[in-house]
Amino acid sequence: MQKIIVFTIGTIVGSFLALVAERVPENRSIIFPASYCTSCKTKLHPIDLIPVWSQLFQRSKCRYCGKHFSYTMIFTELICGFTFCLYFPFYLEPQVTINFILTLTAITLSLTDYYYYLVEPRILYASGLLMITLTLIFRTIHYPYFLTAIVMWAALRFLDHLLPNSLGLGDRKLLIIWSCFLSFYQILWIVFIGSIAGTFFFILQHRFSSANTKDLLPFVPFLSIGLFITLWFPLYF
Ligand SMILES: [Zn+2]
């Protein structure tokens, strides 16, 4: 029962984070207007906004005009629900709290990168500030991690010099901020797994989709896969 409650809270948070990712890059308020169908502009009622269930029962379609909703929302809600269950009841252990925030930030920034090819700086900086504040409160600052951040900054500068624009500025900032809270070993694994997953997806996309496929690839979702694997299976990383 406890897990169901935690999962439900996770799906509600997931729904909110999806809204933040959709609205903040466009400078739209995250409070007003209330959620509405982008096709028929009808304001959605509470029954239409129950995380996961509304989309399941309505088969991901608008109840008023029949327009198909993106599966991104239900996917985000489910991922957040599982994330809350995975981290429960360890939220109050300092490094776990940081890992939890890193995971939620990764989910939100994956969405902004997917929607707009943008690592929304306000979300990234806010999460960095929150994590720095928590490490100060918990008194768990790992100074070697800041060395990781400096090494990562230098390595990414060198990469940009060697292969200009191979990695977006937002992706680089994200990796440097994450480096402040993770070991060098973890960061290397995240970049490695993210690159392998991204390359694999890129090849599949070109192999199976139409000629209109964009060459631009949002990289944060793949870095996030690297982050999830590295954090959820710490024994191996
Ligand atoms: Zn509609």
Are 175 and 228 found together in one domain? yes
Q: How many domains does the structure of the chain reveal?
A: 2
In a domain, 179, yes or no: yes
In a domain, 94, yes or no: no
Q: Rounded distance, CA 136 to CA 168, Å?
A: 30
Backbone angles phi, psi at 43, to 5 degrees: -65, 130
Q: How many Å lie between the centroid of ligand 1 and the Cα of residue 41?
A: 6
Are 217 and 126 found together in one domain? yes
Query: pLDDT tens digits for 97-151?
Result: 899 999 999 999 999 999 999 999 999 999 999 999 988 888 777 777 778 888 8
Environment of ion ligand 1 (residues, CB < 5 A): 37, 39-40, 62, 64-65, 67
Q: How many Å lie between the centroid of ligand 1 and the Cα of residue 13?
A: 23
Q: How many Å lie between the centroid of ligand 1 and the Cα of residue 44?
A: 9
Cα of 124 vs its chain's centroid, Å: 10
Query: pLDDT tens digits for 194-233?
Result: 999 999 988 888 777 765 556 678 999 999 999 999 998 7
Residue 172 near residue 204 (C-beta atoms within 8 A): no
Q: Rounded distance, CA 123 to CA 105, Å?
A: 8
Question: Whole-model pTM?
Answer: 0.88
Are 126 and 223 found together in one domain? yes
Q: Which domain does 30 fall in, by range?
A: 1-89
Q: How many Å lie between the centroid of ligand 1 and the Cα of residue 26?
A: 21
Q: Which residues pair with 186 in a beta bridge?
A: none
Cα of 54 vs its chain's centroid, Å: 23
Query: pLDDT tens digits for 72-102?
Result: 989 999 999 999 998 887 667 788 889 999 9
Residue 80 near residue 13 (C-beta atoms within 8 A): yes
In a domain, 102, yes or no: no
What one-letter code names the amino acid at 88? F
Q: How many Å lie between the centroid of ligand 1 and the Cα of residue 214?
A: 28
Q: How many Å lie between the centroid of ligand 1 and the Cα of residue 212?
A: 28
